[in-house]
A and B are shown apart, each in its own frame.
Chain A
Amino acid sequence: MKQHAITAFHVLWTKPITLSGKHFSMNSAEILTMMVSALMWQKYNGSIKLYTDKCGLGFIRSMKLSALWDGGIDTELLENNNYPIDPEIFWAAGKLIAMEAQAGPCVMLDTDLIVTQPIRHLLDPTAITALHSEALHPEAYLHPSLLKKPTGYHFPADYNWNVLPSNTAFLYIKDESFKNFYLSESKRFMFHNMEKPAELVSQMVFAEQRLLSICAARQLLPITHLLSDPFSLSNSCVIHLWGFKSLLRQNENVQAIYSKQLIEKFGEELSGYPLFMGYIGEHLVNHNSY
């Protein structure tokens, strides 16, 4: 199954949370999703690695999940990185730092995204594949004049502000030189960009999602999307928690029902993975002891 394997990576960067003194944690439904994400990738598409920091590793160890990533766990990169980036504003910068270090071609996979089938044949003919395009909602994708910029920074005149951003919960980049160009543009915007915005979405989604599409347009590279519409019922290969995480974090009963559905869908398929079975047995199964 993995003869045409492609390497993916997860990122668990806890610094945006722990920096403000908060305790890092994930609920059981989020952990289960991350497990299914890693194992389904291994089953159908290739190896997967985790980039995290010491705090993230501590959490993973406490959950006995260290063996989940067959490509291993790297803590050096994120732990020792000293880029002048504000983790609160650029809370997903860990993903971009990891992408810079990861040899391509590779897939950046969010921990809340599950690819349910082999997709190498979809990626092979493309230069860039992202999850789906996003509308230019003005609340998330601010007019360039409203974005906070580092001192001396100017948007290049040839940036095309009309291209639609791409959701990067899944991102495949074949070409190393494009990856480096995209990341250098993103870093140029994020570095020393410390002025706090009124909300914590617009700066990050510009640096990660809108810039990807702008950079691709600038280099005349087409972006392919796994999904033409995120909520299309014809989608047969991707589950992404996306905004549902918010409800999931607020409601234990929703967590229970969601987890049950996930296990019903993937339980049999992943029953050969002792780690998966062990986690479910230890954390999720009703032993009916009351």
Chain B
Amino acid sequence: MELKWTLHIPHKKNRAMSIKSDFKKGNHPTASIAMQHYIFAFVQDVINQPNNLDRSKAWLKEYSENEHLNYSELEYHLNVFFELLAEYSKTKSPLLYRFLKLQAQTCYINEDRFNLLRISYPYHDFMVEIIKSSACCHGKNCVSSSPGSGIVGGHLIGL
């Protein structure tokens, strides 16, 4: 799967850390059912027919504006999703798959719809990855006695 999704993002320095500042519970932005359908169709389209990207983007922007949905924010989240998808396609890592699902939700794609995207499943499940992986991590990025790349208590923050 070759993804040609590229977006204009001038603030590269802060790109990866683009996070909403509104902490109040239940104050998350919502999208109408119609908009959710459209975003899902858009993502499907980008995955299956990346050549139509410019036209699809223009429509997505128009739909978003009609819905008073913040397009630049949606564009950012979709960009993270597609970049992550490209990385996942190379590794099939269970952990990245989890992150991909989470990011899909940020893009208003729920788990049922995510499953319809036909993204191939990871090679093995998360716990198996932990058990099978090396007993310790001593690559250039990490020195610890940890088994694999698991996060302790990840479930407490939805990971």
Question: Which residues of A come within 8 Å of B, CB atoms?
Answer: 28-29, 91, 114, 116, 131-132, 134-135, 137-141, 165, 167, 199-202, 204-205, 209, 227, 230-231, 233, 235-247, 249-265, 267-268, 271, 280-281, 283-286, 288-290
Contacts and interface: CB of A to CB of B under 8 A. Distances in A.
Nearest to B131: A231
Given A249-B142, A252-B16, A268 B151 contact: no
B39 to A, nearest CB: 18
A247 B159 CA distance: 14
Contact of A242 (B24, B96, B144): B144
- Report the 6 A-B pairs with minimum CB-CB distance, sorted nearest first: A137-B135, A243-B146, A252-B16, A267-B23, A286-B18, A140-B136
B17 A255 contact: yes
Contact of B80 (A249, A257, A281): A257
A114 B152 CA distance: 10
Nearest to A281: B21
Given A245-B142, A256-B19, A268-B24, A251 B135 contact: no
A140 B135 contact: yes
Contact of B21 (A137, A230, A239, A280): A280
B21 to A, nearest CB: 4
A169 to B, nearest CB: 8
Interface size band for B? 35 or more
Interface stretch (B7-15, B44-52, B56-64, B109-117): B7-15
A250 to B, nearest CB: 6
Most buried by A among B16, B25, B95, B127: B16
Nearest to B151: A244
B148 A268 contact: no
18 contacts: A132-B152, A137-B135, A137-B145, A201-B138, A230-B152, A235-B152, A239-B152, A240-B151, A241-B151, A244-B149, A253-B83, A257-B99, A258-B157, A259-B19, A261-B157, A263-B23, A268-B25, A289-B11
Contact of B137 (A114, A243, A268): A243
Contacts of B18: 256, 284-286
A229 B134 CA distance: 18
Contacts of A233: 155
